Amino acid sequence: MDFDRLIPIIRRLALQAGDRIMEVYDGPDFAVKSKSDASPVTEADEAADALISAGLRAAFPDLVLITEEQAASHALTASTFLIVDPLDGTKEFVQRRGDFTVNIAYVENGVPVRGVVYAPAQRRLFYTRPDGVAVEETGAFDKDVAGPLAVMAVATPDNAALMVVASKSHRDAATDDYIAKYAVKDMKSAGSSLKFCLVATGEADLYPRLGRTMEWDTAAGDAVLRGAGGQVVRFDDHTPLAYGKPGWDNPFFIAFAPGVVLQT
């Protein structure tokens, strides 16, 4: 993969999809449908999916493309592919809470090596440079010219005073019980893949997820966190979270800054 070509393309598509999502978000009431798994989907999800899919297929016709809205047509597994969640955090979107993101990642041999996470309502844009280093961009978000970039790096954690981020919509007793095993200085709640990015920027040290997720939910955030020096491991055996699994389901996982002493 030519990463110098890939990164500007996925950055531009994420920004364009964010514009389309915000047109719906800022407009009058929108319809919310239920998918077969009872999760919500809106016209913003579908429009962003169509925009990103068309752009990626035109630019990379030979690569397998997996998207949340079209995953049912991809029963076979692959080890190298593009994977997209056009609107992660639909519940936050529907409730107009702003914690939703556009996610595009490139997975190579089961590892998410490059990705972009864009939170259009919060005007925060995170991605990996062609060299794999994670950055946060500020400025006007011109589609073709990147603005100022700040290199992201995970914090050096203090295991006696950890910063923890957890899901806003999927928090449960099992998650709280696990977090209670740590010495926690403070807690944050966030929606969507922003939780990975908060660990990547050093705003949090630990993000445990004891709930169902799919690979498109995590790949881009995982890539950004890896590019900032962080790690994402399975909850059960602390091995790296792998991609290209049958059905695209993830196990429970932990995203963290190295130095956190993981509990079992």
pTM for this structure? 0.94
pLDDT over 80 (residue 40):
no
Domain with CATH 3.40.190.80 in the chain: 162-256
pLDDT tens figures, 76-95: 667 899 999 999 987 888 88
As a CATH number, domain 3-151 is 3.30.540.10
In this prediction, residue 138 has a pLDDT band, given cuts at 50, 70 and 90, of very high
Which residues touch 221 (CB under 8 Å, ≥6 apart)? Answer: 101, 103, 115, 117, 193, 194, 195, 196, 197, 255
Most confident of 74-83, 125-134, 189-198: 125-134
Report the pLDDT value the prediction gives residue 28, as an integer from 0 to 100: 78
pLDDT tens figures, 174-191: 999 999 999 999 999 888
As a CATH number, domain 162-256 is 3.40.190.80
Domain with CATH 3.30.540.10 in the chain: 3-151
What is the DSSP code string of 144-209?
A: SS---EEE-------TTSEEEEEESSS--HHHHHHHTTS-EEEEEEE-TTHHHHHHHTTS-SEEEE
